[in-house]
Structure 1
Amino acid sequence: MPDPLILAIDNGTQSVRALLFDLRGDIVAKASAPLLDYRSPEPGWAEHDAEGFWQALCSACQELWTKPGADRARIAGVAVTTQRGTIINVDAQGQPLRPAITWLDQRRTDTVPPIGPLWRSAFTLARVSGTIDYFRGEAEINWIRAHQPQVWEATHKLLLLSGWLNYRLCGRFADSSGSLVAYLPFDYRRRRWAGKRDWKWQALAVLPRMLPELVDPGVRLGEIGSEAARQTGIPQGLPLLAAAADKACEVIGAGCSTPHVGCLSYGTTATINTTTKRYVEVTPFVPPYPAAIPGAYSTEVQVFRGYWMVNWFKEQFGHHEQSRALLEDVAPERLFDELANAVPPGSMGLMLQPYWTPGIRVPGREAKGAIIGFGDVHTRAHVYRAILEGLAYALREGKERIERRGGVRIRELRVSGGGSQSDAAMQLTADIFGLPTARPHVYETSGLGAAIDAAVGLGLYPDFDAAIGAMTRVGKVFTPSADNQRIYERLYREVYLKMYKRLQPMYRDIARITGYPRQL
């Protein structure tokens, strides 16, 4: 009898991918559909048609069945992983009431639910009142209640994108605890909805009845329904297993299941994660996220819109390479690697601080991007390499915070996401961190992580250690260059770590004078 396959559906920011994995973690067949329905009705807003997410999933699945090796009879189960923090309001019939508010959205509201005097006093004593107010103002559900009360009154369930797709596939309002990364009343320590006395019920305009059921990663959510089978081509009755959010799935899909292995994600948001059984707040009062392994946590540090900066550079300054790539029929990434490799390590003193998007919590909400050290020798190639180096410096700073708070030294790195396909980015990452840095054996690590959750849930492996050991392995490994490492060590210690402290007062002045970014 042929070995079973697992269908992983990965709904990212730019596309939905349908991936068939075997039990060795190899991709048997894949297909994708672009996400084209993003819109920004107001500056800083980011919305997407909720039905558009589902239609893209259906398109990706239907295309998958045309690929060689896509044998539906071999599929043992299905799992879904999605972008985080995307909210969808649905009515009692499961119909969306408004477009989804995505994780890229920057709207805020000053009309927020009041917090009782006891909690307010406690927050004042702990000096976290600003953090709590930021949380309330950023919460999409508070904005909807304040500005679209008719939508709020009609809301039967508040779902994350993962819960919405799970509902469309199996007809149950349920989600994975591993997907809960959002402004919702979630208890991150216990990985379940917050208790009745938790302050989040006061800070957020939500009722318990509006929230879906939660299960752990690997638990069966239901089975593929008849209408979902008709639209997607997935066989009716197949088990639907809970997975986790895309970053959490990336971590285990890259084989990072222990605290000494750091997982870098060079995606739209750049992150460094480790997996731990301990509840560790790397940033005080900012919880670790649920891992894709039940009972575990991801100690994550983010550079918001990290590798988005690379795309920003390509769009603003990379037209020559993109035109050449079309003419020469080569991947644009290869030509951008040539651009980075034409510049020596350290970019001849050009240093970049990658806080391109306002509103981040760390290092501070006033943070802005900066490039210092310009001279007449510098070209756009130096700027490009400085972006890659700045992102790696910021993630190394995150690594050191994780080590200080978690008490475990990171000894090796795995890198996922679009940036991992760049040899130049991989090598300078190894040099800046001073650690061996490896690509996973497959690029689609989020999908693989979801497949691992499904494989364990289906009993195809006895536990997560066995599944991760069998389904993940490293590809190419980049080792640090001693000469490059010496240059980067000095630039990191003597320049980069001092930049934010020196520039912070000016960032605040810029915001005060221009109103951008808006401050609390």
Structure 2
Amino acid sequence: MTTKYLIGIDGGSQSTKVVIFDTEGHIVCETAEALAPMHTPAPGVVEHPDDDLYTTLEAAAARAMRQFPGDPADIVGVGLCTIRCCRALVRADGTLAAPVQSWMDLRLSRPYEHESDDVAYVTTTSGYIMGRITGSLTDTAANYIGPWPMDVGTWDWFSDPDTFDSFGISREMLFELKMPGEIGGYVNSAFAAATGIPEGLPVVHTANDKAAEALGAGLRDERVGLVSLGTYIAAMVVGPTFAKDPQYYFTNFASEPHRYVYESAGIRRGMWTVSWLRNLVGAEITQAAAERGIGREEYLNELAADIPAGSDGLMCVLDWLASPSQPHKKGMFIGFDERHGYAHMYRSILEGIAFRMKQHVSDMEAELGSQIEKLVLSGGGANSDVGMQIFADVFNVPAVRNEMRNAAGLGAAICAAVACGVYPDFDAASARMVREADVFLPDPDRALLYRELGEVYADISAQTDALLERTSHILSNR
């Protein structure tokens, strides 16, 4: 039989990735285009500059098709996944009327304010990109998290006029809603000409990036948890019902109709902190890694593996980007002495991420009345053996990384596989396309040490918040 293929588009907050899979979930080729740094022209304004989300997709898709060794006629569909909690203002012709507002933009915390007659539509990143590559003004209901008139329980716009109107967007400015796993449109001639992806291919909606990641990681029930190691680090389990107003997690749409992802509190600028440290001491790390003939991340991981669990008392508090409700929060290292260098700092960042996420997951588990038995890690951070082992020891459960680390791209391909009839349902597609690669088992002695240190870690902010608030007050009055 002729091999068939699926394209998974993963539009993230740092890069746009395009992966071509066979229908068994094996990677045939993959490309990525880095996004430009965020544009911050004024306090609270955080934008993707120019048309970065689309132009990087064009470039990544074109390179993927040039690398693709098969027959383009054997590609059966495209799955589209993009970042969530962003706002795109679109002209009548489908192009951007203004730069896309990032999830970090404070305007996303308020109802939409119509300031330009050039804006014909207000949509998410997935709606905007679907419109550009197909010409169809459709969007997935499962990406409307945040300031949108969306009823999460019904997967439709609010039916109550007063509630709907409170979001400031008229019905005429919103795209037609589709479900994950439904075709949103077909590749148009312009996108086909720019990329080599065949014109007329169905383009399938997924959800938001975190939900597509959960699907691509193989989460099928709440006994398995996922920690997504990205710019924003989140922990997730899946479930069948919408939970209204939980205290320690929130209910997100899943990447399949009328299922949900329960997502704990997370870490803003999580794995970004690793990049920050690497760049801070970049020349030294680059030179040492080059002398060893290895990459900078691999070099750091080798060094961190030789640092004892607990980083000789150094702890890292991951608050490099404070939330709007607690602007005084700051990232910090606590516990320096003469033994500590950047290898300790790197390991303490990984440990701090694991400590913080263990707190969040434990709170979510207690509220759900469940307990995870296995932890899947995805994203670039899952490539680190030392990081994987730290998570296994801190959580005291097996930590797994799958063959496909770009779980969001695989989740998009799974949605395309279901929509295009490759598999009859999401269970069948997941069973065939998701495979474990490595399992890290917890060490009992380190697990006990991390449990005790985790209790200390949980108390740091309670001791330092008052000092940070005083500092913030002094500086804000200058």
For 1:24, what is the secondary structure of its paired residue? coil
Paired residue secondary structure (2:136): coil
What is the CA deviation profile of residues 67-88 of structure 1, one whole-angstrom value per residue up to 9, with x for unaligned ones? Answer: 1424311111111111222221
Residue number in structure 2 paired with 1:141: 112
The residue number in structure 2 matching 1:293 is: 256
Separation of aligned partners in 1, 2:149 and 2:327 = 23
In the comparison of the two structures, how many residue pairs are matched? 476
Cα 1:226–1:158, aligned 2, differ >3 Å: closer, same or farther?
A: same
Counterpart in the other structure of 1:99 = 99
1:318: Cα distance to partner?
A: 4.0
TM-score by length of 1: 0.86
| SS class of match (1:243) | strand
Residue aligning to 1:33: 33
Within the alignment, does 1:504 sit opposite 2:459 as a pair? no
Identity of aligned residues (%): 32
2:27 is equivalent to residue 17 of structure 1: no
> Per-residue deviation at 1:28?
1.1
Is the alpha carbon distance of 1:416 and 1:509 closer, same or farther for their aligned partners in structure 2, counting shifts above 3 Å?
same
Instruction: Mark the runs of 5 or more structure 2 residues left unpaired by the alignment.
Output: none
1:340 correspondence with 2:304? yes
Judging changes above 3 Å, is the alpha-carbon distance between structure 1 residues 224 and 29 closer, same or farther for their aligned structure 2 residues? same
Task: Give the structure 1 partner of residue 284 of structure 2.
Answer: 320
1:304 matches 2:268: yes
Shift of 1:334: 1.1
Mean CA deviation greater in 276-285 or 426-435:
276-285
* Separation in structure 1 between the aligned mates of residue 175 and residue 454 of structure 2, nearest angstrom: 45
CA distance 1:176–1:476, change in 2 (3 Å): same
The residue aligned with 1:82 is: 82
Query: Which residue in the other structure is 2:179 paired with?
Result: 216
Q: Does 2:209 correspond to 1:246?
A: yes
Equivalence for 1:116 = none
Pick aligned residue for 1:168 from 125, 129, 132: 132
Provide closer, same or farther for how the CA distance between residues 326 and 13 of structure 1 changes in structure 2, counting only shifts above 3 A. Answer: farther
Summarize deviations over 1:467-520 as a string: whole Å, max 9, x none.
111110111111111111111011112x1222222333333323322239xxxx
In the TM superposition, what are the counterparts of 1:47-126 in structure 2 within 5 Å? 47-49=47-49, 51-105=51-105, 107=106
2:268·2:321 contact (CA, 8 Å) conserved in 1? yes
Q: Which residue of 1 aligns with 2:440?
A: 478
> How many Å separate the matches in 2 of 1:281 and 1:323?
52
Give, in whole Å, the separation in 2 of the partners of 1:99 and 1:486: 49
| Alpha-carbon shift at residue 424 of structure 1 (Å) | 0.8
Alignment check: 8 A CA contact 1:281 1:405 kept: no
> Which residue of structure 2 aligns with residue 126 of structure 1?
none
Verify the 8 A CA contact 2:32 2:60 in the aligned structure 1.
yes
Counterpart AA for 1:242: H
- Counterpart among 174, 186, 203 of residue 150 in structure 2: 186
Rounded to whole Å, the distance in 2 between the matches of 1:289 and 1:309 is 25
Is the 2:111–2:168 contact (alpha carbons within 8 Å) kept by the matching residues of 1? no
Deviation at 1:282, TM superposition (A): 7.6
Structure-2 residue corresponding to 1:230? 193
Preserved CA contact (<8 Å) 2:268 2:322:
no
Any idea what the Cα deviations from partners look like across 1:303-360, whole Å, max 9, x if unmatched? 1111111111111134322223344431211101122123110112222221221125
- 1:448 maps to which residue? 410
Unaligned runs of 5+ in 1: 109-134
Q: Secondary structure at the match of 2:234?
A: strand
| Structure 1 Cα separation of the partners of residues 160 and 249 of structure 2 | 20
Query: What is the Cα-based RMSD across aligned positions, in Å?
Result: 2.1
> Are the counterparts in 2 of residues 282 and 405 from structure 1 also a CA contact under 8 Å?
no
Q: Tell me if structure 2 keeps the 8 A contact 1:48–1:102.
A: yes
Cα offsets for 1:434-478 (capped at 9, x unmatched): 010011111221100000111111121111111111110111111
Determine the C-alpha separation between the residues in 2 that align with 1:430 and 1:318. 29
- Secondary structure of residue in 2 paired with 1:410: coil
Larger deviation, residues 327-336 vs 468-477: 327-336
Cα deviation per residue 1:150-189 (whole Å; 9 max; x = unaligned)? x2x3321112111111001111111112222332222222
Distance 2:160 2:262 in 1: 26
CA contact (8 A) 1:282 1:299 kept: no
Worse overlay, 189-198 or 255-264: 189-198
Residues 264-288 of structure 1: CA deviation (Å, up to 9, x unaligned): 1111111111111122358539741
Q: For residues 186-237 of structure 1, what are the alpha-carbon distances to aligned partners after superposition, in whole Å with 9 as ceiling and x for unaligned?
A: 22222222232464632x3222221111111001112112222222221111
Aligned-partner SS, 1:244: strand
Is residue 412 of structure 1 aligned with residue 369 of structure 2? no
Deviation of 1:406 after TM superposition, in Å, equals 1.4
Cα distance in 2, alignment partners of residues 412 and 290 from structure 1: 22
Distance, in Å, in 2 between the alignment partners of 1:51 and 1:209 is 24
Corresponding residue number in structure 1 for 2:141:
177
SS, match of residue 66 in structure 2: coil
